[in-house]
Structure 1
Amino acid sequence: MFTSLVRSFKKYRDFKRLKDKDFAFLFCESNDDEVVVIDTETTGLDPKKDEILSIGAVKVKNNKILTSQTFEVYLKNSKEIDAKSIEIHGIRPCDLVNAKESDEAIKEFLKFIGSSKLVGYYLEFDVAMINRYTRPLLGIELPNEMVEISELYFDKTITLIPQGNIDLRFDTIMQNYDLPSMGAHNAVNDAIMTAMIYLKLTN
């Protein structure tokens, strides 16, 4: 109950800080039948200095992945992409020729997710990266409730291996549930694969 009160207070405080009331919908009650699974590709792993290159998302409603309702956007970045990061996410400078300004991209993303619960694999990092843009733009951090896939997997697996070491790597979880790979590694495909894991863990 205390945690719930703290969350409610923070949500109320952030609503008061919201610079653009056109985004008040972020603070509406979420629909329990729908979540949005998100993923980001970034220039590095430091939310304080690195930037988002792309955001991918897919909606899950009534235990179904709505592949017809996916979201993908590329963001312009202010510095050269490191060669090592290109090896990881495969996003090259030429892929960002038609990328959108960060403010426009983030606003489109916020309109897609609305007030839905957010689901992700190591979601804390993705949200920290997104908050780097929402704070100067809207004066707030994402108010959405969040569901961490690795925590769900740990909680479900620890009952089977109470004293064992649990491998929380994404590929391992996919293999353990015999889930198909989406092929190309990008934010949308990663979001869809994460959605598949989410359905396995919650059904």
Structure 2
Amino acid sequence: MGLWRAAKRLFHQATIGDQRYRFLFQPGPADEVVAIDCETTGLDVARDDIITIAAVKIRGDRILASERFQAILRPDARMEAEAIKVHHVFEREVEEKGRLIYKVLPELLHFIGARPLVGYYLDFDIAMLDKYVLPFIGIELPNRRIEVSSLYDERKYGDAPPGTTVDLSFNAILKDLGIPRLAQHDALNDALMTAMMYVALRDLKARGVRIPRPRSRPSVQPGGA
């Protein structure tokens, strides 16, 4: 954890508004993390809202698929046609099954607890959640963050020479790690695939194994034989 995040965590611990959520600062279960994913109405944190949230617990190298959290939310922002095409969550479904975010947050926070959070471009998901968590309990989520694209970058490109083309896309990570591609833009499926990425990358690092890169072709010098 960086110095800035560590200082921010101490500040939040001292200023938390709702004392019932002090458990977020207690030591979590040993060797447990939570893979989390949010699907949203768009990519503007200030303007858009969360449609669905899913989270899955991981203990060591085991994904506890039976210990998961799922929720459909009723967003304030109107769902655009493009968002519906991507997430396949229709306005009628949201109206019938969607719950208000402030009804869901207590369940989500108790599910997560103090465990580190794992995600793919996790900062965006956390920023979307913090938009609601901050006014709800008086602080932002204090949990340590583990970014799978950074873990992948280190295993594949950590020793790469300058000028190497870097691909940190979700599909590239799935392909290199041999993880089955579930239907994407579904919060639970994305959380499960992210969990599988984390477990695989953690294992590679523990064994000191790097992900191979295609060999670059040697350049042909002018006038060479």
Q: TM-score, normalised by structure 1?
A: 0.93
**2:197 matched to which residue of 1?**
197
> Per-residue CA shift, 1:98-138, capped at 9, x if unaligned?
21111111221111100000000000000000000011111
What is the rounded CA distance, in whole Å, between the counterparts of 2:182 and 2:129 in structure 1?
A: 24
Deviation at 1:28?
0.9
**1:11 matched to which residue of 2?**
9
What is the rounded CA distance, in whole Å, between the counterparts of 1:76 and 1:89 in structure 2?
A: 14
**2:121 matched to which residue of 1?**
122
**2:45 matched to which residue of 1?**
47
The higher-RCO structure (CA 8 Å, 6+ apart) is 1
**1:167 matched to which residue of 2?**
167
What is the rounded CA distance, in whole Å, between the counterparts of 2:5 and 2:184 in structure 1?
A: 37
**1:177 matched to which residue of 2?**
177
Max radius of gyration: which structure?
2
> Per-residue CA shift, 1:70-115, capped at 9, x if unaligned?
1101111123200011111111112211211111112211111000
Q: TM-score, normalised by structure 2?
A: 0.84
Residue 184 and residue 124 in structure 1: after superposition, are their counterparts in 2 closer, same or farther (change >3 A)? closer
| SS of residue paired to 2:39 | strand
Structure 1 stretches of 5 or more lacking a match?
none
Residue identity opposite 1:183 in structure 2: A
Deviation at 1:183?
3.1
Contact 1:43/1:53, CA 8 A, preserved across alignment: yes
Contact 2:37/2:119, CA 8 A, preserved across alignment: yes
Instruction: Name the count of aligned residue pairs.
Output: 201
Question: Which aligned runs of 4 or more in structure 1 are off by greater than 4 angstroms?
Answer: none
**2:137 matched to which residue of 1?**
138
What is the rounded CA distance, in whole Å, between the counterparts of 1:174 and 1:13 in structure 2?
A: 38
Aligned counterpart for 1:67 among listed residues 65, 73, 76:
65
Residue identity opposite 1:177 in structure 2: L
**2:110 matched to which residue of 1?**
111
Deviation at 1:17?
2.2
1:148 pairs with 2:150: no
**1:93 matched to which residue of 2?**
91
What is the rounded CA distance, in whole Å, between the counterparts of 1:152 and 1:32 in structure 2?
A: 21
What is the rounded CA distance, in whole Å, between the counterparts of 2:16 and 2:6 in structure 1?
A: 15
Contact 2:54/2:188, CA 8 A, preserved across alignment: yes
Greater Cα offset, 155-164 or 173-182: 155-164
Greater Cα offset, 121-130 or 71-80: 71-80
**2:219 matched to which residue of 1?**
none
Question: What RMSD in Å do the two structures reach over aligned CA positions?
Answer: 1.6
What is the rounded CA distance, in whole Å, between the counterparts of 2:184 and 2:202 in structure 1?
A: 26
Structure 2 stretches of 5 or more lacking a match?
204-225
Greater Cα offset, 193-202 or 24-33: 24-33
